[in-house]
């Protein structure tokens, strides 16, 4: 069973909930370094977009022009959200059109450090969705540190809303 289209739709839903929660924060709370991998909520959201852009460009055979996994692509939350929504829609369209035979297609790419890699498409897509979940979990922890409410991001909450 191909669960990747559902995972891409779930990811877009989860991003929406994260961004809704972030919109309730003060700018200081949103940008405060809270000791996560990329410091602040703002930097972590930028990192998520950076990685999504990198992988989608690699899958499509191009380059995203990213210099670092910590690149700040957007300084404004609303602009960042719009870019993430567009990339999420791209991933949803990409996964919806795949058949299981394509999961084993080998994608060759260059890493940010210039080294080369080769990975099966299915493994890349699983990596993307797992990476997103990991950092969204960090973000909800940082929102909690700001004493602000955040939305539940479990698939079991997503499913009833979409069926």
pLDDT in tens, 138-154: 999 999 999 887 778 77
pLDDT at 137: 95
| DSSP one-letter code for 37 | T
Q: Return the pLDDT at 67.
A: 92
Looking at residue 160, its pLDDT comes to 77
Predicted pLDDT of residue 61: 94
Lowest mean pLDDT, pick from 9-13, 52-56, 95-99, 132-136: 95-99
**Domain spanning 4-162: CATH 1.20.120.450:** yes
Q: Are 142 and 34 in contact (CB under 8 A)?
A: yes
Other CB atoms within a 10 A radius of the CB of residue 161 amount to 7
Domain spans, the chain? 4-162
- Alpha helices, DSSP H only, in the chain? 4-22, 27-31, 41-59, 77-96, 121-145, 155-162
The CA R_g of the chain, rounded to the nearest whole Å, is 16
């Amino acid at each position: 069973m191909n669960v990747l289209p559902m995972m891409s739709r779930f990811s877009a839903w989860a991003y929406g909930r994260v961004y809704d929660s972030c919109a309730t924060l003060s700018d200081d709370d949103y940008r405060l370094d809270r000791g996560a991998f990329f410091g602040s909520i703002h930097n972590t959201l930028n990192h998520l977009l950076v990685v999504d852009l990198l992988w989608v460009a690699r899958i499509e055979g191009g380059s995203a022009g990213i210099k670092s996994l910590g690149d700040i692509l957007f300084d404004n939350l609303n602009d960042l959200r719009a870019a993430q929504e567009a990339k999420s829609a791209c991933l949803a369209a990409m996964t919806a059109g795949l058949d299981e035979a394509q999961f084993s297609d080998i994608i060759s790419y260059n890493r940010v450090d210039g080294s080369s890699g080769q990975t099966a498409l299915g493994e890349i897509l699983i990596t993307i969705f797992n990476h997103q979940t990991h950092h969204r979990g960090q973000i909800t922890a940082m929102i909690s540190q700001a004493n602000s409410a955040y939305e539940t991001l479990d698939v079991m909450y997503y499913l009833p809303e979409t069926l």
